[in-house]
Structure 1
Amino acid sequence: MRLEPIAAPSWQRRLLPPALALLTTFALAALLAQIAGGEPLSIFGLILTGAFGSKFALLETLNRATPLIFTGLAIAVAFRAKLWNIGAEAQLYAGAVITVVLGTGSLPNLPAPLLLPILGAAAVIAGAGLLLVPALLKTRLGVDEVVTTLLFNFIFLLFVSYLLEGPLKDPMGMGWPKSPRLDPEARLPRVFDGLRLHWGFALALISALLVWLINTRTTLGYEMRAVGQNAEAARFAGIPVTKVILKTALLSGGLAGLAGYSEVAGLKGALTLDLSPGFGYTGIVVAMLALLHPIGVVFAALFVAAIFVGADSMSRAAGVPSYLADIMLASALLLMVLAILLSKFRLRRD
């Protein structure tokens, strides 16, 4: 048996395998819920209610989806050009660190309408700069970016730990490793008073729209797709492959940096080592579920956020471990990768 590429897959071929992957994921989750002693339909109902059953639950889901949209977009942009960025977690923290450095008195007497865009731009530059290093190593020396971006996650988290125990440690934090809180002018305002949803969610939606426009309406978007399809053919056609990869790295890293800016300026108000519970890695799941489509990333991020938020509520109500959500997402990722493969290739007998 061998895999044979499909020259022009039909829309049924493109959509049916991903749909079957999601259905299989839910079937597996139902089986595990049954084994854990729960009623599958009741479990799914509790997850749905916990994620969307009230105004508070809905806003918490949107809140959780915000960094996932940014990291999902970062991964989707990079993967479409075959730049395997596994380091969105480090780029997120890079954006968070520069936000704290500049937002805790380094830029005094600036009003919020001026300070907030400066902090956002700085976060974009920090995230972009961090991914630019592996991109240069890839294009200049042929170093595998999967290895370098993955290792950067651990290296940068250790650097953040050093900062929180040293230069950025809050002197009023009673010994806890956390940074000083941002100035009030450096905080993203809340959408609703008394609730945690902030305007970073709107920024994430705008970012998804802009990425879609770049992909579909600009020369860079065409070049990224061409390089992702076949780098050698793109080079033969006159596309500057190296420059395209570097531009892709800057865009991808900048989007991940915005996730850190959003979490610090919009939600937490200070930098801690547990700022991200793995948003950078979960962004890979989001991007794959969205089939690397920027608008699809928004819906995939909402889906993943709903599972996490709803699973917490479900666990308290039904006594079923919330690890069910992790199993669902891991299964969805593996099955979606297989679905993408089957949508582009068919099995042939030699």
Structure 2
Amino acid sequence: MRLEPVANPSWTRTLGLPAVAITSTIVAASLLAMIAGANPFSVLGLIIKGAFGSKFATLETLNRATPLIFTGLAVAVAFKAKLWNIGAEAQLYVGAVVTVVMGTGALAWPAGILLPATAAAAMLAGALVLLVPTFLKTRFGVDEVVTTLLLNFVVLLWVSMLLEGALKDPMGLGWPKSARLIAEARLPRMIDGLRLHWGFGLALLSAVVVWVIQRRTTLGYEMRAVGLNADAARFAGIPVNAVLIKTALLSGGLAALAGFSEVAGLKGSLTLDISPGFGYTGIIVAMLALLNPLGVVIAALFVAGIFVGADSMSRAAGVPTYLADIMLAMALLMMVLAIMLTRFKVRWR
């Protein structure tokens, strides 16, 4: 058996194989539900009902999807240029820290100024976090997979230190969390009385902006060229290192917006468990979307729906919520295989 590249994959091949991957994931999850002693059709129905079966459930799914859109966009932007950003989790937490520093009363600005300034500062901080591994890659050839991954643990320890020290809420009864944001630093609710906030609207806007950058700007063309073949791009006169630096700034800033939206829009304060792995799940979202910024929104809703629906399903059917984690892991593996088979065909001999 050998793999032969496909010069121009057809639309049937490009869209059909990912569809088969998703279908295979659902079938495999159904078999696991049967092994757990539940009716697979009932389990899938309960997941869908728990995620979108009511107004409250739908809005909770949109809330869960908001940080996943940001981290998915961050990964999609970086991966498109073959910059392997595995550190969206670190960039998210840095964005959250900056949001707390600026939004807990240190700046007595009106909301119309404080919110944009906080978002911009969070993006800048996240961009600088990714800039360090990118500089090491372009200057010394250091593998960014290793440096971005290890930075996740470094930043988490740093945040833990801050929550036990400089950022600890003196009124928190010893609990390691920050003070709450003032009202001017909070993102308003999209619907009064419900938890959905305008961070979701910002995430949708970000997806459109990234799509425009990738499809309608010189930078987007350069990012795609570097991702397809860096040596050919360099030969054609494209400044590869500069493109990677710009990609890192955009990717890190997008991931930091996830931390900003979670603190300013949903939680109101920073704790060490503010992210249950949004940065890592963003990789799954980006791969499911085939690195398409608009597809990231759909993939994030799909992943968020599985997580939110799995909680409801577990209570109703007695099936562990770990089924959702298995579904996402299988979806990622199946999608990677589908992408490979889109670009290569198997030749038997």
TM-score range for the pair, normalised by the shorter chain length: over 0.9
Q: Spell out the pairing of 1:50-199 with structure 2 (5 A cutoff).
A: 50-108=50-108, 110-199=109-198
Aligned length: 349
Measure, in 1, the Cα distance between the counterparts of 2:183 and 2:257: 19
Q: Spell out the pairing of 1:299-310 with structure 2 (5 A cutoff).
A: 299-310=298-309
**Residue type of the alignment partner of 1:24:** S
Correspondence for 1:218: 217
Measure, in 2, the Cα distance between the counterparts of 1:256 and 1:294: 14
| 1:11 and 2:17 are equivalent in the alignment | no
**Residue type of the alignment partner of 1:68:** L
Correspondence for 1:36: 36
Correspondence for 2:45: 45
Measure, in 1, the Cα distance between the counterparts of 2:13 and 2:28: 23
- Other structure's SS at 2:346 match: strand
Q: Spell out the pairing of 1:236-255 with structure 2 (5 A cutoff).
A: 236-255=235-254
Measure, in 2, the Cα distance between the counterparts of 1:35 and 1:237: 56
- 1:188-231 Cα offsets, whole Å, 9 max, x none, are 00111221100000000000000000000000000000000000
**Residue type of the alignment partner of 1:77:** V
- Other structure's SS at 1:107 match: coil
- 1:50-105 Cα offsets, whole Å, 9 max, x none, are 00111100000000000000000000000000000000000000100000001112
- 1:260-315 Cα offsets, whole Å, 9 max, x none, are 00000000000000000000000000000000000000000000000000000000
Correspondence for 1:348: 347
| 1:332 and 2:331 are equivalent in the alignment | yes
- Other structure's SS at 1:172 match: coil
Correspondence for 1:206: 205
Measure, in 2, the Cα distance between the counterparts of 1:106 and 1:232: 48
Shift of residue 349, structure 1, vs aligned partner: 4.3
Shift of residue 348, structure 1, vs aligned partner: 2.5
**Residue type of the alignment partner of 1:95:** G
Measure, in 2, the Cα distance between the counterparts of 1:179 and 1:2: 56
Measure, in 2, the Cα distance between the counterparts of 1:225 and 1:349: 32
- 1:231-264 Cα offsets, whole Å, 9 max, x none, are 0000000000000000000000000000000000
Shift of residue 38, structure 1, vs aligned partner: 0.7
- 1:103-135 Cα offsets, whole Å, 9 max, x none, are 112212x11011100000011001101000000
Correspondence for 2:261: 262
- 1:156-209 Cα offsets, whole Å, 9 max, x none, are 000000000000000000000000001110000011122110000000000000
**Residue type of the alignment partner of 1:66:** T
Unpaired runs of at least 5, structure 2 = none
- Other structure's SS at 1:328 match: helix
Measure, in 2, the Cα distance between the counterparts of 1:113 and 1:103: 13
- Other structure's SS at 2:196 match: coil
- Other structure's SS at 1:15 match: helix
- Other structure's SS at 1:347 match: strand
- Other structure's SS at 1:197 match: coil
Correspondence for 1:297: 296
Measure, in 2, the Cα distance between the counterparts of 1:99 and 1:180: 11
- 1:20-47 Cα offsets, whole Å, 9 max, x none, are 1101100000000001111011111111
Measure, in 2, the Cα distance between the counterparts of 1:194 and 1:126: 32
- Other structure's SS at 2:168 match: coil
Moved over 4 A (4+): none
Between 1:231-240 and 1:98-107, the stretch displaced more is 98-107
Aligned residues with identical type, % of pairs: 75
Unpaired runs of at least 5, structure 1 = none
**Residue type of the alignment partner of 2:199:** G
Q: TM-score, normalised by structure 1?
A: 0.99
Measure, in 2, the Cα distance between the counterparts of 1:230 and 1:333: 24
Shift of residue 347, structure 1, vs aligned partner: 1.8
**Residue type of the alignment partner of 2:278:** F
Measure, in 2, the Cα distance between the counterparts of 1:105 and 1:51: 36
Measure, in 2, the Cα distance between the counterparts of 1:102 and 1:164: 15
Measure, in 2, the Cα distance between the counterparts of 1:112 and 1:323: 40
